[in-house]
Chains A and B, each alone.
Chain A
Amino acid sequence: MTLEEKQQDIIDEFAIFDDWMDKYEYIIELGKELPMISEENKTDDKLIEGCQSRVWLNTDVVDGKMNFTADSDAIITKGIIGLLVRVLDGETPKDVATTKLRFIQEIGLHEHLSPTRSNGLASMVKRMKLSAIAAS
């Protein structure tokens, strides 16, 4: 599946929810299911300190593809991280660096990526992009 197809996939999944709470129920389930980052990788240099929640991000380049694992102490943040990782993990540095993450806007979660939300997600996406730029 291409990066673009993965985005569309998520948009289609969310299309069935017409209620906010149902949407969040789903995100929370995603957050609960995902073991994200190994405990030994939860080090301070990987920590993105948001005012509201904390995020850990580990980036790697494996065989020319970006490899992301990430985690958060808040489950909603973690669920959204799951979506971001699902879209960006395993893609080329160039695609990660240049693709617009339109799915976030389309499923109505863009408020979570706003820097004013201070949950660490905006900085996380920025770091993902920067690591891809560095690798490309």
Chain B
Amino acid sequence: MITDDISIPFDVSRIRTDFPTLHRTVNGKDLIYFDNGATSQKPKVVIDAITEYYTNNNANIHRGVHFLSQLATAQYEDARIIIQKYINAPLSEEVLFTKGTTDSINLVANSLGELFTEGDEIIISAMEHHSNIVPWQMLCERKGCILKVIPINEAGELIMDEFDKLLSTKTKLVSITHISNTLGTINPIEEIIEKTHNIGGYVLIDGAQSIQHIKIDVQALDCDFFAFSAHKVFGPTGIGILYGKKEILDQMPPYQGGGDMIAKVTFEKTTYNELPHKFEAGTPNISGGICLGTAISYLSEFDLGAIHAHETELANYAEEKLLEFDGLRIIGTAEKKTSVVSFVVDGIHPFDLGTLLDKQGIAVRTGHHCTQPLMEFYQIPGTVRASFAFYNTKEEIDVFIRAMKRSLNMLR
């Protein structure tokens, strides 16, 4: 029987050999990297692809008849197609290269936002990253639009009844995170997309925390925009993607002006290039784009279902062990969650815990995670966050728990 399942069986120790950084020491201890929500480590294939690009293939793209320019252009455009296929976008020109999630959201806020008028409403949620709050506030100031916020419950889940109440014919756009970087909550974006479309609004999904954990199919989701950063999905920094539906992107004015985005420039009038180039002014991060393609190809070799199962097991195990500590509280207890474990300990500042864990070789994130309004909701200064990737192990969690015990003994 022929099957198209060519994914490699899930083997953590094999996966770990792909990631050089995981094998270094920090403060004399073997590194335990639990800060994957901030950025992921890079597999050797990606690191090699960066070296290969600058060693052999470097040239500017879309501009030269010479061999290297043609080669670099072909590789860059191939990467676009790899990403298009991976997220199942209908057309490759719907896949725009940006600097990352933040840049993608700003693109939509500045370009689609130009079409908004006073009194138009934009809906976000209480658990958004600052990059999905501030661009909309800036737009609201420019255009007189109104920002509405879907509240959450104690568990860190959206209160969908409240969303229903906020939604109206004035709603132009709902911009929402797929997965919360602070809480790990997986939001019911299918329902949000359907309901928003019913009233004629658009939906942007901030996929910064989902692309590396969940199989994304933009056609099945039917979202209008989907944004993510390469660096959180095993690719380089400084590059990311904005997927947008062609019929919407076509109506949107350009965001930045410059080379590559034009069809013809005269001092009287400039006409703009077609998609995707209309939104890709200037020399892009060429190696970044190519190597994001490499990262996505690498990830495609695995069964994301198995990855998700492994990561969920790690998170459940970590939560179970952490809850044995007196006064420890998990922040974010949604029923549907990914591998993010945020917590606070009574009377202990997250910074102190983070510092002591670091001295024991363990990288966690402490602070407000760029979600200050969320910290205000929970009335805490910040959390300690362990966020897992598919290369993490239960053994690492055991070491982490021992380090936690030692740190708490010192701090109490």
Known interface pairs A51-B367, A52-B366, A52-B367; A21-B351 also in contact (CB < 8 Å): no
Question: Considering the chains assembled together, what is the distance between the CA atoms of A14 and B366 in angstroms?
Answer: 27
**Hey, which chain A residues are within 8 Å of B352, CB to CB?**
28, 74-76
**Partner among A28, A51, A119 whose Cβ is within 8 Å of the Cβ of B410:** A28
A67 at the interface (CB under 8 A from B): no
**Hey, which chain A residues are within 8 Å of B350, CB to CB?**
52
A131 at the interface (CB under 8 A from B): no
Cβ distance B72 to chain A, nearest Cβ, rounded Å? 34
B221 at the interface (CB under 8 A from A): no
Is A25's CB under 8 angstroms from B351's CB? no
Q: Which A-chain residue is minimally distant from B347 (CB atoms)?
A: A75
Question: Considering the chains assembled together, what is the distance between the CA atoms of A25 and B406 in angstroms?
Answer: 10
**Hey, which chain B residues are within 8 Å of A76, CB to CB?**
351-352, 355-356
A77 at the interface (CB under 8 A from B): yes
B56 at the interface (CB under 8 A from A): no
B359 at the interface (CB under 8 A from A): yes
Question: Considering the chains assembled together, what is the distance between the CA atoms of A25 and B360 in angstroms?
Answer: 13
Q: Which B-chain residue is minimally distant from A53 (CB atoms)?
A: B351
Question: Considering the chains assembled together, what is the distance between the CA atoms of A73 and B27 in angstroms?
Answer: 25
Question: Considering the chains assembled together, what is the distance between the CA atoms of A119 and B352 in angstroms?
Answer: 11
Q: Which A-chain residue is minimally distant from B27 (CB atoms)?
A: A20
Q: Which B-chain residue is minimally distant from A29 (CB atoms)?
A: B410
Question: Considering the chains assembled together, what is the distance between the CA atoms of A20 and B362 in angstroms?
Answer: 14
**Hey, which chain A residues are within 8 Å of B411, CB to CB?**
28, 75
B349 at the interface (CB under 8 A from A): yes
**Hey, which chain A residues are within 8 Å of B28, CB to CB?**
20
Question: Considering the chains assembled together, what is the distance between the CA atoms of A26 and B387 in angstroms?
Answer: 30
Is B349's CB under 8 angstroms from A75's CB? yes
Total number of A-B contacts with CB less than 8 angstroms?
41
Cβ distance A77 to chain B, nearest Cβ, rounded Å? 7
Question: Considering the chains assembled together, what is the distance between the CA atoms of A119 and B366 in angstroms?
Answer: 11
**Hey, which chain A residues are within 8 Å of B188, CB to CB?**
none
Is A24's CB under 8 angstroms from B351's CB? no
Cβ distance A3 to chain B, nearest Cβ, rounded Å? 27
Known interface pairs A51-B367, A75-B411; A21-B360 also in contact (CB < 8 Å): yes
Q: Which A-chain residue is minimally distant from B382 (CB atoms)?
A: A52
Q: Which B-chain residue is minimally distant from A31 (CB atoms)?
A: B352
**Partner among B359, B366, B367 whose Cβ is within 8 Å of the Cβ of A24:** B359
Question: Considering the chains assembled together, what is the distance between the CA atoms of A76 and B356 in angstroms?
Answer: 9
Q: How many residues of B contact A (CB 8 A)?
A: 19
Mark out the residues of chain B between 157 and 216 whose CB falls within 8 Å of any chain A CB in the assembled complex. Answer: none
Is A52's CB under 8 angstroms from B410's CB? no
Question: Considering the chains assembled together, what is the distance between the CA atoms of A54 and B360 in angstroms?
Answer: 24
Q: Which B-chain residue is minimally distant from A20 (CB atoms)?
A: B359
**Partner among A21, A52, A74, A77 whose Cβ is within 8 Å of the Cβ of B359:** A21
Q: Which B-chain residue is minimally distant from A75 (CB atoms)?
A: B352
**Hey, which chain A residues are within 8 Å of B354, CB to CB?**
52
B381 at the interface (CB under 8 A from A): yes
Is B351's CB under 8 angstroms from A52's CB? yes
Known interface pairs A24-B410, A28-B410, A52-B366; A77-B351 also in contact (CB < 8 Å): yes
Question: Considering the chains assembled together, what is the distance between the CA atoms of A25 and B352 in angstroms?
Answer: 11
What mask results when residues 62 to 98 of chain A are scored 1 for a CB within 8 Å of chain B, else 0?
0000000000011111000000000000000000000
Is B356's CB under 8 angstroms from A21's CB? yes
**Hey, which chain A residues are within 8 Å of B406, CB to CB?**
21
Q: Which B-chain residue is minimally distant from A77 (CB atoms)?
A: B351
Is B349's CB under 8 angstroms from A74's CB? yes
What mask results when residues 355 to 369 of chain B are scored 1 for a CB within 8 Å of chain A, else 0?
110011000001110
Q: Which 5 residue pairs of A and B lie closest in terms of their CB atoms, listed nearest first?
A: A74-B349, A74-B351, A20-B359, A53-B351, A52-B351
Q: List, sorted by A's number, 29 A–B pairs whose CB atoms are closer than 8 Å.
A: A20-B27, A20-B28, A21-B356, A21-B359, A21-B360, A21-B406, A21-B410, A24-B359, A24-B410, A28-B410, A28-B411, A51-B367, A51-B368, A52-B350, A52-B351, A52-B366, A52-B382, A53-B349, A54-B381, A73-B349, A73-B381, A74-B349, A74-B351, A74-B352, A75-B349, A75-B352, A76-B351, A76-B355, A119-B351
Known contacts A28-B411, A51-B368, A52-B350, then 18 further A-B pairs from the complex at CB < 8 Å, ordered by chain A residue? A21-B356, A21-B360, A21-B406, A21-B410, A24-B355, A51-B367, A52-B351, A52-B354, A52-B366, A53-B349, A53-B351, A54-B381, A73-B349, A73-B381, A74-B349, A76-B351, A77-B351, A119-B351
